[in-house]
Structure 1
């Protein structure tokens, strides 16, 4: 027996019996006209491939030179390099002198490559990803070479298309669907949209025509070359129905027309289709510019939960069609099929893609992987969806590779069933069918989880008792409506009805579209019912209606709350607990997304996780998109502040930890803001450098925090007290870029830009209000000060109150080395010997002036911060203790927060243990109440009796330490 026969026989022995006879017959037919290929890989794989695909087998028998060429050229055994498919296609049509020759060459090339790709797939040499990419590359190549050929012919006749300015006008082809996503299967239609860059007419030909006519002819020629069924078959079936206006619209439109159409008339299904749009041929630059212009149409900047409704309707329409046509076993459209996997991923893309660049992806596999990595879907769900998708796509390919037909139905013929099972790695059809059923069930379960319809609005029947939701729909009115509200816990039902009526008839609601009104009518019964369960339903309803007035016109947020009862319940809970949160969410409605998962809502991130989250958010946007990055910073800050407030209200985070979280957020933001501002200025002016002792060195910059940020005691809505310093010194203090500026100018502009980025009012609000008055010389001083000048000021000119402020100062961002130098200077200043009696007088006088200006003027009220025995008294005592004692006890300079400083003062013997504990307890109690009052949007003032005993004890300590 020959070597070739031995390889064939061994491969044949592994085939199922019912396939073996057919393959044996085909091999005999082939040997009647040609010799089998002599490469071992081709021989060993031939029985398996032919058993799986009669199309491949019969293509080889009818054109034996095809297999001989593939085997001996080596093309069968290796994947093509990037761009190789296109160059081979171009070579194939290079010598075509007329349209018939072009069309014939394209079909021969397509058959050769389809056989090669199918062979590699069925032989197990190519992954699913490679197969889909090569099929897509084949389509791209055929479209491009046909386009180039026809463009050349038309230009020879009509000349070159130009615009009014005489510039060349170009044509491009958008690939949609699986072609756009580079996920084409064996017998896919290709969905195309044609565009051209500008109006005008052709020049230089025998006859001039306008560009619209020229490119329409080009599109028609291109479609015919690909789509026409000739003796050699077709290249690809072309579907143009996804273009604007479908079959009734023009075949070709210029870019401005396309952009205007989608902006003004684009429908939800067109957003869905545009997710995968890609320039597959023609002018990549012009087509890419259109897709970039359409990005806001596809990916809304807000969280578009209204897309779920549209996708749900689209899927329901498909389901009705499946049922009507009996396509339950269709692996593309049926339950648990390919389309459901795509819908899951694309739902998240449409909802969140405008906020998360990582979702602006054409590949459904990469989208699902992203969702898993970012916990938008559980890990097991992503694994099962990916596993199901790969199995379904391989099944789809094996089905279509059988006869090169566009089929998605499982075969009923037993031989084809055996063929499909075998190519999918199963010995028996029932084993394959069982596995397919299991995977489709997993896919459908996850699809249902994502697309489950929200709670339906209650519909009354004549026999129903009135329910609370009926108050909104006005099924019950007047005294009956008041009785329903009162029965559900509302204390002032008449006032609540008036408030609801004012909201319903207000300008915000009157301006709603029909869709917006439907969403509101679905939401309000749910919201009123949830409010009835709150602790203070009347106040909670008022807060929620105020919030809704701010967001009601952005109906995607209404959809979010309707779609996610958990988000609605968390919103009611938080608004009931805090009007500050209600106002915070109304100002920044993108925070509603944070309510979807209580696991993260009540678990503020720690410092490292905050930095990672912010870096990930920023990395999704180009470095030169400053405005978008500023918006990302605001979304990050507002979202994480909400998490802190939620955990605070839930009682799961102690006061000191609340401030730690808020400080971490501020410091992470400051670091990124400094990087943004620095990068912008460095790009314009270069790096600030200086000559020191003949050596060129970089000048550093640092941000020093004072006040609450410096003292690690940040509260909700606190300003940031900061000072900017740099260490430019020596000679030639200039930047090293083309547009040189003095370093002092650079650092002044850097400080200004930081303040602008932090304080600019944008859609996401303000990051932080910044106060720089603690810099040397206050408002009249330089915005950014050199360390040398700062040191001189502190040594020679600073007032005692400025040294008091220095007690709470610390480095928070910028040059670490400069930060260390600042710390050394701070230590030097605070350890200076001082006349303690004189110091006491100065500190006491400053405190008395502050109390006179800011303290409560009413004897029945107590200002927690400013009245005698309050927070400021404790802070001033601590500062006096540090300034007077640090010369002998350097450990007093280790910390900047009052709680730990009181511990250090106790250990240094400056204050007794009992008094220290009293002040610590009072300080924590006061700050806790201030936090609570902030969340209730109330001033830090309470009845005098509330803290009379505690404030008196603090005042006694003040009298002993500061008045004696």
Structure 2
């Protein structure tokens, strides 16, 4: 067959001889077909790009006609196609040698198709790698199934040991595909990394001789490797690498699930975590394999943010670089600088670091991970696009290199013909054009790799002499006098106390028993922490706070890596611990929150309520709805993380007092909404939905009413939540589920479930402490009341102080329709006519009781006198009681007083209604804000709300005078 002149004209002159040689090889194949101009172009590209295609079509000339007739060259395969075709091919095979031949010839025919399609871009890079992986899965699974049946006939079927009921269960092998096979990223001439396992120990039920299960599966595994890897006259199927199994080449070829779990839990190394990211069940017992993957997931993905991944990946990259230099692999598109491996490391570093907390990062395919990095870790979109483009080109070039002779190589050709054919196969006009594109992409990859996994010797180096002196002090090699002098030189105001804190840490048994790697990490970060702490005003106190955190994470030394890898985060930590004992305590209780220090853009910019709501919903959607424990942990992490951000903004003055309370209140509301949704879903799945009327389901006709600080939008850091639960469903109806219960029982259980989720201590602590004493009849009343019962109680039985509390009540979560009805009821109750004298008497009497029981009590001279911000005369409660009295006294004819629930805006309304003069209202507002600001500051230092008696005197005097005029005169 003669090629068209138009087709030949497109071939570079230096490739004509190569093309003619390969055309001569397939002369017989071409005699049987007629090719269109488009197919001739495809043939030319395939023959120039691949000697392997020419050799196979020479040996099997009928394949070209078959591939064209079936449309296999033009069409994609489905995942099941390979398995179906191979099953048909192996039907009736009863000899192991025939099995080997059929597998190899199947492989050769399919590889011709895959190489042809890849070189002609009839599919994209991901299409090629995906189909290659499906093809490999089919070959492994079909060979395993055939060999397993033969093995069972010879040695008996393996069974587990008897279970509690005396039953033994048949066992099958599980084959894990690692690396590119596991990730559906197999290349054109890749070896395959496999691990063999089986569910449980036991023995076979052979007639003549029983084998231990492990012995059986080792023999089966050996047979499988031979079927795939052995080089015969027909070639091979896949080169098989078994070195990733536990203990590597020294370990057994197959081991049980329990042995696998034990190995990775006790002896698994960092590089094995990296390898396990891509592990996938590719053959054998898929259901049991899913169980194995689940068992191994905690080894791969740590529940905490794991910055040790940077260190281990850097070490791996350094090892690869040494190998590259030793073997001269600088032109290797996989291992060389800016190559495929660096792109993989970038993605997998973040998978290892954050995958334990974000299930979306627990994916195998690299091109599914890279697009997530802008949202997950803040990597710029442009950087991700550059990495994706580079990775795609590098993988295409890798395929072009391997297509030539079906060899496992990633080395760029060094000869002119090799370069020209690779450029032509990649659709480039010349080698120079391809080389330029490769250089640009590899430089881009190297730049981004350095940004993410910077070499240890890059960046700002610490002064070695200073670090050495800190470690000399740490190891006790300075006498106390010299150590104190050194600490004073480094800025420590109370050097003896600082030295003692360090010595106390060093003497801890936990420190003495640290493994070498953990001690190395501790000693890498300690000099940095000690230097930074010496630069703040209260250096010794700050050091004590920071060392409490250090002590808390001694057994989780990855946090030390986080701080040493992120100098800015370390500086933030020291700065914030210096300013706030509360902040330091929160981090010590939950070191996982250290991750929040890394990005100051988010640390000092807490989101608004809608953003909070959307963020929490997204986090909860990633967790199975029935996993209550994990949902509770996620809620706690979310709450603590955002409270930390608010505190950071508060400490540094980014947010004013009123905004701090706004954010903390929004946070509580968003959490309460989520808790109600979880509790409602949990109960309705079990019992069905309660009915408002026969056949009319509630939606949900339930509200959470916030009183006190949450109702008044004035939450602080340690505030509990004063809540009341109300519903508006018929007490005489039931839920509509199979396990129906009365509406009243349902809502009572709903309230209990909400409190359980909020109050329960988990590893991350408590979500919120809840106070339900403001519900009708207090602790002796029902946990959840109907709206009607609440109305009846408020109208007939409530005390004056309960109406005072209602002034600051508002719905914070639940049904909008019921919330509106509650607000109408609230306004009706608060605007009811009252006897002025009786009202004033009740308010004053209650205030005096509170002052006597809760106010400060001086025990000695004037130096012992203090001012209790909340309870003492002229304090916060005086202002609140005056506001509440004025609302209850005048709401009947001044409804504007009922619009707000926070004291500041109620005071604005009181001033507008001329119930207080502008001067009096302003003094109360400013005093209230000053008291609350002082309370915030004390909370951040873990101190009670008490000031010296000489503080806030003008405000106290002014408030007391207004109290006298309004409440007593």
Please indicate the TM-score interval, normalised by the length of the shorter structure.
over 0.9
Instruction: Indicate yes or no: 2:352 matched with 1:350.
Output: yes
> What's 2:787 paired with?
787
2:514 is paired with a residue whose SS is coil
Partner Cα separation in structure 1 for residue 215 and residue 187 of structure 2:
33
> What's 1:328 paired with?
330
Deviation at 1:39, TM superposition (A): 5.6
Give a deviation string over 1:85-141, Cα, whole Å, max 9, x none.
Answer: 211121121232311221111111111111111111111121111111001001000
Give a deviation string over 1:759-801, Cα, whole Å, max 9, x none.
Answer: 1111111110011110010000111111111111111111111
User: Does the aligned pair in 2 maintain the 1:469–1:526 contact within 8 Å?
Assistant: no
Partner Cα separation in structure 2 for residue 955 and residue 425 of structure 1:
87
Deviation at 1:350, TM superposition (A): 1.4
User: Does the aligned pair in 2 maintain the 1:601–1:646 contact within 8 Å?
Assistant: yes
Partner Cα separation in structure 2 for residue 82 and residue 887 of structure 1:
75
2:404 is paired with a residue whose SS is helix
Deviation at 1:472, TM superposition (A): 2.8
Indicate which of 256, 266, 269 corresponds to 1:267.
269
> What's 1:240 paired with?
242
2:442 is paired with a residue whose SS is helix
Partner Cα separation in structure 1 for residue 390 and residue 476 of structure 2:
48
Partner Cα separation in structure 2 for residue 381 and residue 295 of structure 1:
29
Give a deviation string over 1:877-910, Cα, whole Å, max 9, x none.
Answer: 1111111121112222211111111111111222
Deviation at 1:352, TM superposition (A): 1.5
Partner Cα separation in structure 2 for residue 621 and residue 382 of structure 1:
27
> What's 2:164 paired with?
none
5+ residue gaps, structure 2, are: 162-166
Deviation at 1:424, TM superposition (A): 2.3
Partner Cα separation in structure 2 for residue 902 and residue 507 of structure 1:
58
User: Does the aligned pair in 1 maintain the 2:693–2:729 contact within 8 Å?
Assistant: no
Give a deviation string over 1:212-259, Cα, whole Å, max 9, x none.
Answer: 222222111111111011111100000111111111211111212211
5+ residue gaps, structure 1, are: none
Map 1:43-62 to 2 at 5 A.
43-62=40-59
Map 1:310-459 to 2 at 5 A.
310-453=312-455, 458-459=463-464
With 77-86 and 141-150 compared, the bigger mean Cα shift is at 77-86
> What's 1:167 paired with?
169
> What's 1:808 paired with?
808
Indicate which of 75, 80, 88 corresponds to 2:72.
75
Partner Cα separation in structure 2 for residue 672 and residue 695 of structure 1:
24
Give a deviation string over 1:386-435, Cα, whole Å, max 9, x none.
Answer: 22211111111111111111011110111110111222232121221122
Instruction: Indicate yes or no: 2:484 matched with 1:482.
Output: yes
Instruction: Indicate yes or no: 2:714 matched with 1:717.
Output: no
Partner Cα separation in structure 2 for residue 36 and residue 25 of structure 1:
19
Indicate which of 907, 910, 920 corresponds to 2:912.
907
> What's 2:741 paired with?
741
> What's 1:221 paired with?
223
With 502-511 and 706-715 compared, the bigger mean Cα shift is at 502-511
Partner Cα separation in structure 2 for residue 42 and residue 494 of structure 1:
85
User: Does the aligned pair in 1 maintain the 2:698–2:729 contact within 8 Å?
Assistant: no
Deviation at 1:301, TM superposition (A): 1.0
2:655 is paired with a residue whose SS is coil
Partner Cα separation in structure 2 for residue 495 and residue 214 of structure 1:
65
> What's 1:925 paired with?
930
User: Does the aligned pair in 2 maintain the 1:689–1:699 contact within 8 Å?
Assistant: no
> What's 1:16 paired with?
12
Partner Cα separation in structure 2 for residue 205 and residue 111 of structure 1:
40
1:954 is paired with a residue whose SS is helix
Aligned-CA RMSD value: 1.9
- Residues 617/37 of structure 1: CA separation in 2 closer, same or farther (3 Å cut): farther
Partner Cα separation in structure 2 for residue 5 and residue 736 of structure 1:
79
1:404 is paired with a residue whose SS is coil
Indicate which of 119, 123, 130 corresponds to 2:120.
123
User: Does the aligned pair in 2 maintain the 1:30–1:36 contact within 8 Å?
Assistant: no
With 372-381 and 87-96 compared, the bigger mean Cα shift is at 372-381
Partner Cα separation in structure 2 for residue 481 and residue 749 of structure 1:
61
Deviation at 1:29, TM superposition (A): 4.2
Partner Cα separation in structure 1 for residue 346 and residue 656 of structure 2:
40
User: Does the aligned pair in 2 maintain the 1:458–1:469 contact within 8 Å?
Assistant: no
Indicate which of 136, 139, 144 corresponds to 1:139.
136
User: Does the aligned pair in 2 maintain the 1:690–1:699 contact within 8 Å?
Assistant: no
User: Does the aligned pair in 1 maintain the 2:731–2:742 contact within 8 Å?
Assistant: no
Partner Cα separation in structure 1 for residue 523 and residue 130 of structure 2:
47
> What's 1:572 paired with?
574
Partner Cα separation in structure 1 for residue 871 and residue 698 of structure 2:
47
Partner Cα separation in structure 2 for residue 501 and residue 94 of structure 1:
75
Map 1:82-161 to 2 at 5 A.
82-161=79-158
With 295-304 and 377-386 compared, the bigger mean Cα shift is at 377-386
Partner Cα separation in structure 2 for residue 589 and residue 811 of structure 1:
34
1:946 is paired with a residue whose SS is coil
Indicate which of 587, 598, 612 corresponds to 2:600.
598
Partner Cα separation in structure 1 for residue 727 and residue 34 of structure 2:
76
Deviation at 1:482, TM superposition (A): 2.0
> What's 2:874 paired with?
869
> What's 1:287 paired with?
289
TM-score by length of 1: 0.96
Instruction: Indicate yes or no: 2:819 matched with 1:819.
Output: yes
User: Does the aligned pair in 2 maintain the 1:892–1:905 contact within 8 Å?
Assistant: yes
Partner Cα separation in structure 1 for residue 105 and residue 538 of structure 2:
76
Indicate which of 948, 957, 962 corresponds to 2:962.
957
Deviation at 1:203, TM superposition (A): 2.7
Deviation at 1:16, TM superposition (A): 2.0
User: Does the aligned pair in 2 maintain the 1:472–1:525 contact within 8 Å?
Assistant: no
Partner Cα separation in structure 2 for residue 36 and residue 48 of structure 1:
17
User: Does the aligned pair in 2 maintain the 1:36–1:43 contact within 8 Å?
Assistant: no
User: Does the aligned pair in 1 maintain the 2:661–2:714 contact within 8 Å?
Assistant: yes
Deviation at 1:207, TM superposition (A): 4.9
Partner Cα separation in structure 1 for residue 617 and residue 54 of structure 2:
54
Partner Cα separation in structure 2 for residue 904 and residue 5 of structure 1:
96
Instruction: Indicate yes or no: 2:530 matched with 1:528.
Output: yes
Partner Cα separation in structure 1 for residue 154 and residue 38 of structure 2:
50
User: Does the aligned pair in 1 maintain the 2:471–2:523 contact within 8 Å?
Assistant: no
> What's 1:299 paired with?
301
Deviation at 1:191, TM superposition (A): 0.4
Deviation at 1:5, TM superposition (A): 6.1
The number of residues matched between the two structures is: 955
Partner Cα separation in structure 1 for residue 417 and residue 708 of structure 2:
81
User: Does the aligned pair in 1 maintain the 2:700–2:814 contact within 8 Å?
Assistant: no
- Residues 149/123 of structure 1: CA separation in 2 closer, same or farther (3 Å cut): same
> What's 2:702 paired with?
701
User: Does the aligned pair in 1 maintain the 2:868–2:946 contact within 8 Å?
Assistant: yes
1:76 is paired with a residue whose SS is coil
Partner Cα separation in structure 1 for residue 20 and residue 507 of structure 2:
80
> What's 1:194 paired with?
196
2:205 is paired with a residue whose SS is strand
Partner Cα separation in structure 2 for residue 650 and residue 265 of structure 1:
45
Partner Cα separation in structure 2 for residue 442 and residue 465 of structure 1:
34
User: Does the aligned pair in 1 maintain the 2:189–2:406 contact within 8 Å?
Assistant: yes
User: Does the aligned pair in 2 maintain the 1:400–1:406 contact within 8 Å?
Assistant: yes
1:361 is paired with a residue whose SS is coil
User: Does the aligned pair in 2 maintain the 1:687–1:737 contact within 8 Å?
Assistant: yes
Partner Cα separation in structure 2 for residue 763 and residue 64 of structure 1:
67
User: Does the aligned pair in 2 maintain the 1:155–1:205 contact within 8 Å?
Assistant: no
Deviation at 1:459, TM superposition (A): 4.1
With 488-497 and 191-200 compared, the bigger mean Cα shift is at 488-497
User: Does the aligned pair in 2 maintain the 1:160–1:205 contact within 8 Å?
Assistant: no
Partner Cα separation in structure 1 for residue 268 and residue 7 of structure 2:
55
Give a deviation string over 1:70-94, Cα, whole Å, max 9, x none.
Answer: 1110111111123122111211212
Partner Cα separation in structure 1 for residue 481 and residue 212 of structure 2:
72
Give a deviation string over 1:492-544, Cα, whole Å, max 9, x none.
Answer: 22222222112111233123222121111111111111111112112111211
